Amino acid sequence: MRAIIPGLLVGALAAGDALAEACHVSASASSEAIKEVAQEYCYEFVGMDDGAIDWSCHNETGDMINSQQRKVASCAEAHLGTCEAALTQETLTNPRSGDDDRGEPRPAVPNDAKVLTHYYQVGDLKQVRIDCESAGGTWQDR
Ranges of each domain in the chain: 6-141
Beta strands 138-141 and 114-121, pairing class: unpaired
Q: What is the pLDDT of residue 93?
A: 54
pTM of the model: 0.72
Q: Is the pLDDT at 110 greater than 70, yes or no? A: yes
Q: Is the pLDDT of residue 111 over 50?
A: yes
Residue range 94-121: mean pLDDT, rounded:
69
Average pLDDT over residues 87-108: 57
- pLDDT, average across residues 30-56: 80
Q: What is the pLDDT of residue 84?
A: 95
pLDDT at res. 7: 35
Residue 97 pLDDT > 50: no
Query: How many whole angstroms separate alpha carbon 98 and alpha carbon 80?
Result: 32
CA 101 to CA 81: how far, in whole Å?
Answer: 35
pLDDT band at 36 (very low <50, low <70, confident <90, very high): low
- Cα–Cα dist 139/70, whole Å: 24
Residue 77 reports pLDDT greater than 70: yes
